[in-house]
């Protein structure tokens, strides 16, 4: 959190406005009225962009926006974000597992999507919700009664992935300094589901800002990525607090909701196949249109 001494709070908000809309005449005139060229020289990145994990050895992750002159920064409530790859979580043949999850998910979704297209009911957001509701999201219940999706839930590869997913969550929790017994890890209630975002030209394919209610830790495994990649966007909770119901604004479209400056910058993760991103479930996130 930044604490501006004196009148720098107004200048900081102006810098944020310039970063959002650098060519806006009203913003520029206000900056000139305040005096000095410093307000016009906002070179902060609009977002923190992170690429696939396999490229991290050659490139740094970058840094957050610069600290304005005369201001102090203290991390009061940092939001920890974890990154991993499926090859690092104890899967025997991770390439086979990745291909299995991709094939089963895409095939099931495509069958539903094509059915809706023929019936002229193929709005992606509606199909996406129906696809989610057709799944048994409780991983343990799915394996005990795989009838909802036998080829997925009855597979040994799915069972292996469930065990690995629990390790992903427990590792993150322990990394946060939260003690976790072996029994607590084994009895962890794990919620898993598949989501598919197809490449189509005549529909809006996205998942607007939302959080995962009644959960503590969330993660995403990217089993397949298009080219060019669409990022997963995680908002700064200082500008998009989780107490708001962002799903209520989904009818306004992707640009209908934005964070409050100066905390409007987001983390954009351009994942590669097999990448995993782990984050607290309260973090507001989205998949932008692509």
Domains of the chain by residue range: 2-73, 82-287
Confidence at residue 8, expressed as pLDDT on a 0 to 100 scale? 44
Which candidate, 136, 174, 133, places its Cα nearest to that of 154?
136
Confidence at residue 5, expressed as pLDDT on a 0 to 100 scale? 39
Q: Which residues lie across from 191 on neighbouring strands?
A: 138
Report which listed range, 38-52, 221-235, 246-260, is most confident: 221-235
Distance CA 191, CA 218 (A): 9
Residue 119: φ, ψ to 5°: -90, 10
Distance CA 94, CA 225 (A): 16
- Domain 82-287 class, CATH top level: mainly beta
Confidence at residue 40, expressed as pLDDT on a 0 to 100 scale? 45
pLDDT at 135 over 90: yes
Confidence at residue 36, expressed as pLDDT on a 0 to 100 scale? 45
Average pLDDT, rounded, for the chain: 82
pLDDT at 35 over 60: no
pLDDT at 13 over 60: yes
The DSSP letter of residue 201 is: S
Question: To the nearest 10°, the Cα dihedral for 288, 193, 185, 189?
Answer: 110
Q: Could you tell me the sign of the dihedral formed by the alpha carbons of 138, 139, 145, 147, in that order? A: positive
Q: Could you tell me the sign of the dihedral formed by the alpha carbons of 146, 151, 153, 155, in that order? A: positive
| 3-state secondary structure (DSSP) of residue 55 | helix
Q: pTM higher than 0.85 for the full model?
A: no
6 band by pLDDT with thresholds 50, 70 and 90: very low
Pairing of strands 232-235, 266-269: antiparallel
CA 242 vs CA 74, 200, 236, 262: distances in Å:
21, 31, 10, 17
Distance CA 46, CA 148 (A): 43
64 band by pLDDT with thresholds 50, 70 and 90: low
Distance CA 62, CA 253 (A): 30
């Amino acid at each position: 959190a930044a604490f501006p001494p004196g009148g720098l709070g107004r200048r900081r908000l102006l810098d944020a406005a310039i970063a959002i809309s650098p060519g806006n005449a009203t913003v520029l005139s206000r900056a000139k009225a305040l005096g000095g060229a410093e307000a016009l020289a906002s070179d902060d990145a609009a977002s923190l962009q992170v690429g696939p994990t396999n490229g991290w050895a050659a490139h740094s992750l970058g840094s957050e926006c610069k600290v304005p002159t005369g201001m102090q920064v203290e991390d009061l409530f940092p939001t920890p974000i974890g990154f991993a790859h499926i090859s690092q979580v104890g899967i025997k043949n991770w390439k086979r597992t990745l291909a299995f999850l991709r094939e089963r998910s895409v095939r099931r979704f495509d069958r539903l999507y094509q059915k809706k297209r023929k019936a002229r009911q193929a709005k992606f957001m509606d199909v996406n919700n129906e696809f989610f509701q057709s799944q048994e999201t409780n991983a343990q219940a799915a394996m005990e009664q795989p009838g909802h999706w036998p080829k997925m839930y009855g597979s040994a590869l799915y069972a292996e992935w469930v065990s690995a997913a629990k390790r992903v969550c427990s590792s993150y929790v322990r990394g946060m300094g939260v003690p976790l017994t072996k029994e607590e890890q084994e009895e962890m209630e794990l919620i898993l589901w598949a989501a598919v975002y197809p490449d189509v030209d005549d529909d809006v394919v996205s998942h607007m800002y939302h959080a995962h209610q009644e959960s503590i830790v969330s993660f995403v495994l990217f089993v397949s990525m298009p080219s060019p990649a669409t990022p997963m966007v995680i908002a700064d909770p200082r500008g998009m607090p989780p107490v708001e119901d962002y799903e209520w604004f989904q009818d306004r479209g992707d640009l209908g909701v934005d964070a409050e400056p100066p905390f409007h910058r987001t983390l954009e993760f351009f994942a590669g196949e097999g990448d995993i991103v782990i984050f607290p479930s309260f973090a507001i996130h989205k998949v932008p249109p692509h």
